[in-house]
Amino acid sequence: MGPMTEPETDSPARRRARPRARVIAVANQKGGVAKTTTVASLAAAWADRGLRVCVVDLDPQACLTFSLGHDPETVEVSVHQVLLGTARARDAILDTADGIELLPATIELATAEQLLLTRTGREQLLKVALKPVLGAYDVILLDCPPSLGVLTTVALTAADGVLIPLQCETLSHRGVGQLLDTVHDVKRATNRRLQVLGVLPTLFDARTSHARTVLERIGADYGVPVLSPPIPKSVRFAEAPALGRSILATARTSRGADAYREVAESLLPSSPVPA
């Protein structure tokens, strides 16, 4: 199903009254914490529930684009052009086999940070670019790069909430504080409505005391919600991207798929976001 555009005959009052997509950034400056897996899996879970979902790949490695069945080498119009203002978001969005729509990335995005540094109002560029399609979706998920640079700031400025995947090990745990400092700066400077939805424990191995200890400390140390259940470590997550699908399609009855369904259910918006 393609994005649903608003009729041109709508009055300004009707457009203002129509609810818009809830925008969620999935961020952690540390790589390898299942960030892209989280975006694809939550999106698939919501699509299965009948929600209209779009995911935005903001990582120059384009792992989300590849994981959802598109070769970044063959993508002609991507989020890179959208951020630079040479293409509209609706013209770059692609369909996927999981019923999710995708604003893809390519390696070109690696140059975007440097190019955006010279742009006035660069923090607002994604927010402005997504505005015309907000009414077409219930949820838009932003897959942030593993850094705290311009692209992550752009995503946080466009988002209503931020979800933090966290591998249950000490180095990942220490990085949460840095990300929360960035969230605080963004709230103060460019996006007062931004909320921390919580930390999502990933790659969790309940057999190790270290993983259990880290899990217990997260909420107390940072004062943020810890989402449940933790996402278990499983080879099924590594198998799914090779098929261009999410784990909800490739291993529907696995513990990992069930865990993401539960998390998706807990994050379902209780009320529409006003336009």
- The fold of the 20-266 domain, in CATH, is Rossmann fold (3.40.50)
**CA distance linking residue 79 with residue 18, whole number of Å:** 26
| Backbone angles phi and psi of 101, in degrees to 5 | -100, 150
**CA distance linking residue 4 with residue 247, whole number of Å:** 27
Full pLDDT tens readout for the chain, 275 residues: 444 444 444 444 444 455 889 999 999 988 888 999 999 999 999 999 999 999 999 999 999 999 999 999 999 999 999 999 999 999 999 999 999 999 999 999 999 888 998 888 999 999 999 999 999 999 999 999 999 999 999 999 999 999 999 887 655 566 788 899 999 999 999 999 999 999 999 987 766 777 677 777 777 788 889 999 999 988 888 888 888 999 999 999 999 999 999 999 999 865 556 66
Sign of CA dihedral 237, 239, 245, 248: negative
DSSP characters over 109-173: GGGHHHHHTTSTTGGGHHHHHHGGGGGG-SEEEEE--SSSSHHHHHHHHH-SEEEEEEESSHHHH
| Backbone angles phi and psi of 55, in degrees to 5 | -115, 145
Q: Where are the beta strands (DSSP E) in 8-82?
A: 22-26, 53-57
| Backbone angles phi and psi of 94, in degrees to 5 | -115, 155
| Backbone angles phi and psi of 273, in degrees to 5 | -85, 125
**CA distance linking residue 40 with residue 76, whole number of Å:** 22
Classified as helix, coil or strand, 56 is strand
